[in-house]
Amino acid sequence: MPKSKKRKTARKHKPLPRKSDNAEARERLRKYASEIDLPGGRARPRLLSLLFCDFSNRTDDRKINLLGIFDRIYVHPDIMRSPPFVLYGRAAETFEDNLWVRVFDPDNEPQVEMKLDPPPVETLDADRDPDDPKQLQFYLPVQMTFRKEGVYWFDISYRDFSLGGAGLVVRFRRLGADRNATDTFV
């Protein structure tokens, strides 16, 4: 049968929730909302995202583009130096002091520390509403030595308080079998 004449298979849709399910969901949401402090949570410094990628750039209107997001990197076992990559992060309510990126090896030993100064006040939008979220994004070119295989923890801290982080899996691989130096678990 020609492609245009093929019958389309019926799509399977999730059945609509029963009204009692909706009532249960609304009640569950009301209970949850009554137990959290949204204004306090929004005002606290926090990590919003931390990603590893192959390339990034910044547009004229200050948007950041990321290419090749990964969570595993391959390093030659004799050289132990990573290919260049980019660490992208976004944090909220962290404009008043430095942010720190601290890297820990698989044995939790500190390896590297990078300091990010807060942006000057004059670089912030003048028309910004004081109630708008105060979110800072950064991207750092990184190339470092990985002396052992395992998960390296990239921690973001503000005023010596960890906001969270992300693990980067490092595996040793000799060149030749596969040219890609970064990968993502699927």
pLDDT above 80 (res 5)? no
What beta strand segments (E) does the chain contain? 46-58, 64-70, 72-75, 85-92, 99-104, 110-116, 135-142, 150-158, 161-172, 182-183
Residue with the two structure tokens 């606290």: 44
For residue 148, what are the contacts with CB-CB under 8 A and spacing of at least 6?
105, 106, 107, 170
For the chain, give every domain's residue range.
Answer: 48-124+133-183
Q: Average pLDDT of the chain?
A: 85
CATH fourth-level superfamily of 48-124+133-183? Macroglobulin (MG2) domain (2.60.40.1930)
pLDDT band for position 95 (cuts 50, 70, 90): confident
